Amino acid sequence: MKHFLDISDHSSDELQDILDLAIRLKKEYFSTGNPPLFKGKVLGMIFQKPSLRTRVSFDMAMRHMGGDALYLSPNEIGLGKRESIADVSRVLSGYVQAMMARVFEHAHVLELAKWSSVPVINGLSDYSHPCQAMADALTIEEKFGKAKGLNVTFVGDGNNVAVSLMQISVKLGWNFTIANPEGYNMPSGSVEQAKKVAEKSGSNLSFLRDPHKAVIKAQVIYTDTWTSMGQEEETAKREKIFPPYQVNARLVNEADKDVIVMHCLPAHRNQELTDEVADGPHSVIFPQAHNRLHAQKAILARLFQVA
């Protein structure tokens, strides 16, 4: 791999290879510790948005593997404002061995990759969240194994997290369903792309309005905040539209008896996800968050070509 920008850029075999490596690195970490395969390597981390999981998981992934990470805040760079993205990319890629960027506009991370001489990772953009999807897939495989035909349901806004979850689902042969309000669909281009992949992988895609129909036979229920960063002016409007899409005990009880409930966090508790569910027996939201660390070790290892 040259970069890791979007799930759709990679084959099913490539993605499964990363997941298999993540499982091995995770087991290794908890048994003997990871070897210093990243020694002498520094990851430059560019942030336009605040972060807990993305910043800490990438930082610790580098440390666990013997490398280092450099945090660059929004005020330090002013990506595309104080200095052009092309110039930032060319300068920074002369200092570090890889870059990770958490940006508002997907075009910004694509521009970074265009001009970079080192690997670039999409740590989140307004279009997709591929690193989250890898951690999600790792969590799902830990629970269900490499299960073709698994039923994955997303409830809520057709946002960047939903896009990447759909992409990884069709790549791995899972069935993907989304229930969202009218006007909050996923980008049509990503849907058409996923349909083409699903024809080859055997996945079924369903796009519904009714969350209760969407969770029937679901083995995974996934939700996310109703209002993402950068959409704050829509908060009041969204809080009137999305309550029927809350993941609560009633909805969970309508799914498969062994269903797991996922959320990429941060969660607005008792909005999109009730406390009862978030802290209940079906929830895997914290193991899922911790798996960001191990999935990202595997992504970095493949980009560095050291494992």
**Which residue among the candidates 129, 238, 294, 302 is catalytic per the annotation?**
129
Strand, helix or coil at 168?
helix
Interatomic CA distance for residues 269 and 128, integer angstroms: 23
**Which residue among the candidates 6, 126, 157, 224 is catalytic per the annotation?**
224
**Which residue among the candidates 64, 102, 238, 302 is catalytic per the annotation?**
102
- The answer to whether 302 is a known catalytic residue is no
Pair 152, 175: CB distance under 8 Å: yes
- The answer to whether 264 is a known catalytic residue is yes
Tell me the Cα Rg of the chain.
19
Nearest to 226 by CA among 237, 218, 211, 215: 237
- The answer to whether 63 is a known catalytic residue is no
Q: Match 């281009």 to its residue by tokens.
A: 189
DSSP string, 38-105: TTT-EEEEEESS--SHHHHHHHHHHHHTT-EEEEE-HHHH-BTTTB-HHHHHHHHTTT-SEEEEE-S-
**Which residue among the candidates 97, 167, 263, 264 is catalytic per the annotation?**
264
Interatomic CA distance for residues 258 and 269, integer angstroms: 22
- The answer to whether 102 is a known catalytic residue is yes
**Which residue among the candidates 10, 263, 292, 294 is catalytic per the annotation?**
292
- The answer to whether 9 is a known catalytic residue is no
**Which residue among the candidates 48, 97, 132, 219 is catalytic per the annotation?**
132
- The answer to whether 132 is a known catalytic residue is yes
Q: Quick one: 98 exposed, middle or buried, by C-beta within 10 A (0-12, 13-18, 19+)?
A: buried
Nearest to 23 by CA among 306, 261, 291: 291
Element spanning 275, H or E: helix 275-278
Active site residues: 102, 129, 132, 224, 264, 292
